[in-house]
Amino acid sequence: MRTLVVNPGSSSLKLSIVDGGLQVAARTVENWDGSPDPRPLQDVLAVSGPVDAVGVRIVHGADRDGPHLLDDDQLRALEELVPLAPLHQPRSLALARMTADLLPGVPVFGCFDTSFHTGMPAHATTYPVPREWTERFGLRRYGFHGLSCAYALRTAAGMLGRATEELNLICCHIGAGVSVTAISGGRGVDTSMGFTPLDGVAMATRSGGLDPGLLLHVLRVGGLSTAEVESALNYRSGLAGMSGTSGDVRQVLAARAAGDEHADLAIRVYLHRLRREIAAERVSLDRLDALVLTGGVAEHEPALVAELLDGLTHLGLAVAPDAGLGVGDRVISPDGARTRVLVVEAREDVEIAHEIDKARFAV
């Protein structure tokens, strides 16, 4: 089945045609402003020809498990989640509507980053706040980057010669957004992101987890509105806020190499919080078969990955001296290491097409 995959990010739009698990056409719009421009879609369709289905990556699906056909009722329901994923959700829904208009008669599915985590145990999803809040506001840990985790799990299983259900993994998606997920039995069992994609480790422009008292103090003393605080935490925090750069890790590393002390501290905080979360996720597994690193930073910054792993030797994790020479999906731990370390290319497009194939076949 030939599937058009629409993958909107916070700063780019990735379009691809996947047929039989292989990408046969692709187009990426860099520095994308979020506008639902039909021309990139028309360009990739002109190359590929007709498609059988469309899959749109949607960051927040609440408790939806697996792909859902995006009819008007579904789209209206997903609009209610926009405040929980303001960087991505509005763009995904606008693109879903535009694609449906461009391709009448072709089913448009939403594939959700939250679905992979829907089976997490209650002790991992429940927040220690008044039960009245939990019930009234629907508070729970949802988790994100699930499509990336699902693809990384399937790929790691192939690389290790094991069934997905047999593996205990920690999957780190390290891109502009960063998350760490413990995986057992083929599903996420704990994860760093929470009710929103703002929780967890420090990211390019997002703060990650913070002391709630800090936010109360800023609101009370600084006279800021909740909208101002929300904007700062999503767009002006993380690497960007600490270093004074755009938050692109390449810029921060370049500034650090030039002697910028703020950039140096930003990288040290970034790595410390990532290591701390990896160690925390280890508690949710009775053993660890492999650490899987995916996402643009993990794939293309081998020196930073080596620095990350240098602080994780107490967990039995290490990187081979020649690991920086590899490309593509690869093992970067030394030969004979008890716990393997893998780098897997992030292919959410292939995972989306795979999930739609499964859903349509099941029907």
pLDDT above 90: residue 35: no
* Pairing verdict, β 13-19 and 187-191: unpaired
3 state DSSP class of 255? helix
Average pLDDT, integer, range 91-97? 96
Average pLDDT over residues 11-39: 89
250 is in an annotated binding site: yes
Contact 273, 208 (CB under 8 A): yes
Q: What is the pLDDT of residues 247-275, one digit of tens each?
A: 999 999 999 999 999 999 999 999 999 99
322 is catalytic: no
Is 249 annotated in a binding site? The answer is: yes
| Model pTM score | 0.94
pLDDT at 363: 46
Choosing from 19, 52, 113, 349, the catalytic residue is 113
Among 9, 3, 10, smallest CA distance to 26 is for 3
Comparing 28-32, 156-160, 212-216, 310-314, the range with the smallest average pLDDT is 28-32
Q: Which of 290, 285, 287 is nearest to 160 (CA)?
A: 290
Known binder of ligand: residue 248? Answer: yes
Smallest CA-to-CA distance from 16 within 44, 50, 51, 47 is with 44
Q: Is 157 labelled a binding residue?
A: no
pLDDT tens digit sequence for 129-174? 999 999 999 999 999 999 999 999 999 999 999 999 999 999 999 9
CA distance 161 to 106: 37
Which residues lie below 8 Å from residue 18, measured CB to CB, with a gap of 6+? 2, 3, 5, 24, 349, 350, 352, 353
Residue pair 36/87 in contact by the 8 Å Cβ criterion: no
Residue 226 has pLDDT above 50, yes or no: yes
Average pLDDT over the chain reads 95
CA–CA gap between residue 17 and residue 170 (Å, rounded): 29
Q: Residues 27, 31, 34, 38: is their CA dihedral positive or negative?
A: negative
314 is in an annotated binding site: no
